[in-house]
Amino acid sequence: MAEHNEVAYTTADGNDYVAHEQTYEGFIKLVKYGSVAVITIVALMAIFLT
């Protein structure tokens, strides 16, 4: 059977935490501003299309 040892991510080769954090921050910004844009569009539709 396969060994199920705990993986040590802090010692693994190839981890690029700086790029990971930049990608995560970009995703959070996208979600935040995308949500604001959708809410604004829905509010404007409610005002002008009723």
pTM over 0.75: no
Q: How far apart are the C-alpha atoms of 8 and 20, rounded to whole Å?
A: 17
- Which pLDDT score, from 0 to 100, does residue 47 have? 96
pLDDT score at 27? 98
Each domain of the chain, given as residue ranges in start order, spans: 17-50
| pLDDT of the residue at 12 | 58
Structure tokens at 46: 């409610």
Taking the CA atoms of 11, 25, 31 and 34 in sequence, report the sign of the dihedral they define. negative
Tell me the one-letter amino acid at 29: K
pLDDT tens readout for residues 2-50: 677 776 666 656 677 888 899 999 999 999 999 999 999 999 999 999 8
Residue labelled with tokens 């396969």: 2
